[in-house]
Amino acid sequence: MSRYKRVFDLLHVYDKQGRHELFERMAARGWELSGGGRFTWKFRRAEPSRARYASAYFKRASEFAPPDSDELAFRELCERTGWEFVCSRGQMQVFVNREAEPLPLDTDPQLEFALTDGLARRNAIFSAVMLAVSLLLLWYTLGRALDDRLGALVSMDTLVLPLLVLGVALCCLGDLICWALWRRRARAAAERGEFYAARRIARINAAIPLPLTALLALSALGWLLWGGSGTESIRVVVSVIAVFAAGAAGTAVSSRLRAAEASRGKNIALSAITVFAVCAAVSLIGVLLTWREDDASAAPLTINSLTGDDYAYAVYIESRGSPFAELYSYEERYVPFGDACPEPAPGEDVSARLRYSVYRARIPSAYPKLREGVLWEHQGHTEPCGAAPFGAEEAWYIEKSYPGVEQAWILCYGGSVVYLEYNRALTAENCAAIAAAFGGESV
Amino acid sequence: MARAKFHTLTEQMFYVLLCLREELCGIDILDRVPEMTGGRVSVGSGTLYNLLEQFLDASFIREPRGEGRRRSYVLTERGRGTLRAEYERIRAQAADYRRVFGEDEHEQI
């Protein structure tokens, strides 16, 4: 049986009573508080006891420095009334008292309210800033999704990011509302000379991030199931992991250095170096995960399958998707640098360039949206052309819609829409190859 | 909030300042307040420490000397003035009470 146990602490800074109840409940079950992390409390096995816990905020305490003489004097003063210091987390100092009816650590409700409110207000300012940033991001991500509806339909990022940002904004708003409610009631209670136990508000406040966590988990699952090989998605996940890993490593280093009584400057410097190093390491892993030689062997259509040569061109493949539709993008061309394309022999023609995007509907109702979306992107440049050679249901020819693109086609195959650019004249064999690649039958 | 609060002192603020008419350290104040009030008022150590910090910031008290962790405090002229003002306020309240209810009713209570 493990001798130590860690318990997550989602309680708000003003929910002192909730925190004390947690410690007392754990002590009654035989788990004695032994330390505090940034988001957790550490308990060790002990005889079940009916100890009383209390916490106080010591303004000058720092998580990067060992306790100074003032902090030690404060603890000594508390010990004088039976409150033994247990552990600290930032400014919060936790004490235990084993007497049946001890004199409380805080006996002045107005002073206690003022001190707690000072800390809670700092959190509220952070929530307000986060709310403003989230609303800006929401405006940006929604605007992007509305501007590029086709992209939004085939991307988990564009679908999920506004939801996540909205979730963060709602969490921050909930945090601010709970703080304002607590503040109003706690101040009124303090003016009456009473301590305010904000259990219901605090419980709601603690529960607010849970739906966001569930949304994050669902989004991660969605990315895994439908996201394709989207490097953007992997980058988002790697960034989130980097933030958490760096935060955890920084906290661990800082608490160890604090325990070893290292100076504040040394602690901050080493913690910052750790945070940067972990961020860099996780980012490097992310780069290695997303960086790969694209393998053209699984591509439905290549320049080789159209021209019959076996000349190696550089290939770029990207696939992404959502529960509604998926996108497979392929680009192949000569790149005059790097290892992807060998140096052409004198007189060898390496000017072929093939690019296509296959939008495939995952649910039938997505197909008309995909068709409309692709046609809308090229509106004004399309003219209907014969679909039969491509084995498609409908086909459009596009001439010079973008600089550098001489000709392109939009081909509709019932369940999928293909946008194809090829800078050479298409032969009947080419059309048959295209039909075979995208599920049609050339006529 | 603390500065505004000093316009009227809470009971604990009043007694902590009152104790500091003579030089005392924090631990002595913890004993002195219940002693002075017959056990009616006690000051928790968390409250006391924060009060002392606030009084120092407001220059109501000063530290005549710091001996390591045993810091001692004593009332300043400003603190004495605040205490006096609070006393006058309480006295005025008591006088008003007497004027409204009269001395007899006061004695019955």
Please tell me the distance from the alpha carbon of residue A289 to that of residue A231, in angstroms, as a whole number. Answer: 9
B/e letters for B80-100, b = 16+ CB within 10 Å, e = fewer, are: eebbeebeeeeeeeeeeeeee
List, in sequence order, every beta strand (DSSP E) within A324-390. Answer: 325-333, 353-361, 382-384
Strand partners, A354: A332, A422
Q: Is the pLDDT of residue A441 over 50?
A: yes
Cα-based angle A268, A119, B76 (whole degrees, multiple of 5): 95
Give contacts of B5 with chain A, Cβ < 8 Å.
110, 114
For residue A129, count CB atoms less than 10 angstroms from its CB and return exposed for 0-12, middle for 13-18, buried for 19 or more.
exposed
Taking CA–CA distances from B71, the nearest residue in chain A reads A73
Q: Does A114 touch chain B (CB under 8 A)?
A: yes
- Please tell me which of the candidates A72, A80, A110 has its beta carbon nearest to residue B45: A80
Please tell me the distance from the alpha carbon of residue A111 to that of residue B43, in angstroms, as a whole number. Answer: 12
Give contacts of A83 with chain B, Cβ < 8 Å.
45
Most confident region among A145-149, A402-406, B65-69, B92-96 by mean pLDDT: B92-96
Residue pointed to by tokens 């064999």: A429
Please tell me the distance from the alpha carbon of residue B102 to that of residue A203, in angstroms, as a whole number. Answer: 50
Contact of A353 with A422, CB cutoff 8 Å: yes
What is the mean predicted confidence (pLDDT) over A258-274? Answer: 87
> What's the number of CA atoms in the CB half-sphere (13 Å) around residue A418?
29
Cα-based angle A380, A384, A385 (whole degrees, multiple of 5): 135
ipTM: 0.80
Among B30, B47, B56, most A C-beta atoms within 10 A, so best to mutate, is B47
Please tell me the distance from the alpha carbon of residue B57 to that of residue B62, in angstroms, as a whole number. Answer: 9
Task: Provide the residue type at A224 as one letter.
Answer: L
> What long-range pairs does A191-197 form, CB within 8 A, spacing at least 24?
A191/A110, A193/A109, A193/A110, A194/A109, A195/A106, A195/A109, A195/A112, A196/A109, A196/A113, A197/A17
Contact of A82 with A102, CB cutoff 8 Å: yes
Strand partners, A44: A4, A32
A73:B26 CB<8 A: yes
B/e letters for A323-334, b = 16+ CB within 10 Å, e = fewer, are: ebbbbbbbbbbb
Instruction: Provide the 8-state DSSP code for A402.
Output: S
State whether the Cα torsion A167-A170-A176-A179 is positive or negative: negative
Closest of A272, A210, A282 to residue A245, by C-alpha: A282
- Gap from A67 CA to chain B (nearest CA, Å): 12
Taking CA–CA distances from A81, the nearest residue in chain B reads B45
Contact of A274 with A249, CB cutoff 8 Å: yes
Q: Residue A42: in which H helix or E strand, if any?
A: strand A40-45
What is the mean predicted confidence (pLDDT) over A278-303? Answer: 79
B42:A80 CB<8 A: no
Q: Is the pLDDT of residue A379 over 90?
A: no
pLDDT at A294: 65
Q: Does A74 touch chain B (CB under 8 A)?
A: yes
A117:B50 CB<8 A: no
B42:A111 CB<8 A: no
What is the mean predicted confidence (pLDDT) over A41-45? Answer: 93
Contact of B17 with B75, CB cutoff 8 Å: yes
Q: Does A73 touch chain B (CB under 8 A)?
A: yes
What is the mean predicted confidence (pLDDT) over A113-139? Answer: 93
Taking CA–CA distances from A93, the nearest residue in chain B reads B46
Contact of A88 with A61, CB cutoff 8 Å: yes
pLDDT at B1: 44
Cα-based angle A293, A294, A296 (whole degrees, multiple of 5): 130
Give chain A's radius of gyration (CA, Å).
Answer: 31
Q: How confident is the model at residue A121 (pLDDT cuts 50, 70, 90)?
A: very high
Helix pair A69-80, B45-57: axis angle to 10 deg: 140
B/e letters for A157-172, b = 16+ CB within 10 Å, e = fewer, are: bbbbbbbbbbbbbebb
Among A88, A97, A111, most B C-beta atoms within 10 A, so best to mutate, is A111
User: Among A3-12, B4-13, B14-23, whose mean pLDDT is lowest?
Assistant: B4-13
State whether the Cα torsion A225-A231-A237-A241 is positive or negative: positive
Q: Does A81 touch chain B (CB under 8 A)?
A: yes
pLDDT at B90: 93
Q: Does A53 touch chain B (CB under 8 A)?
A: no
Please tell me the distance from the alpha carbon of residue B105 to that of residue A376, in angstroms, as a whole number. Answer: 91
Give contacts of A107 with chain B, Cβ < 8 Å.
12, 42-44, 47
What is the mean predicted confidence (pLDDT) over A382-398? Answer: 91
Reduced to 3 states (helix: H, G, I; strand: E, B; else coil), residue A104 is coil
- Between A and B, how many residue pairs show a Cβ–Cβ distance under 8 A? 71
Strand partners, A361: A325
Instruction: Provide the 8-state DSSP code for A389.
Output: G
Among B50, B55, B67, most A C-beta atoms within 10 A, so best to mutate, is B50
Q: Both tokens of residue A189?
A: 């209670």
Mean residue pLDDT across chain A: 86
- Gap from A189 CA to chain B (nearest CA, Å): 14
Taking CA–CA distances from B48, the nearest residue in chain A reads A106
Q: Is the pLDDT of residue A229 over 70?
A: no
Please tell me the distance from the alpha carbon of residue A87 to that of residue A33, in angstroms, as a whole number. Answer: 8
- pLDDT greater at residue A39 or residue A371: A371
For residue A53, count CB atoms less than 10 angstroms from its CB and return exposed for 0-12, middle for 13-18, buried for 19 or more.
buried
The 10s digit of each residue's pLDDT in B24-83 is 988 899 999 999 999 999 999 999 988 998 999 999 999 987 556 678 999 999 999 999
Top CATH class of B11-100 equals: mainly alpha
Reduced to 3 states (helix: H, G, I; strand: E, B; else coil), residue A142 is helix
Closest of A50, A46, A37 to residue A4, by C-alpha: A46
- Gap from A73 CA to chain B (nearest CA, Å): 5
What is the mean predicted confidence (pLDDT) over B77-94? Answer: 94
The 10s digit of each residue's pLDDT in A68-120 is 888 888 898 899 889 999 998 888 899 999 988 889 998 888 888 988 998 89
87-106 of A, contacting B, C-beta below 8 A? 103-106
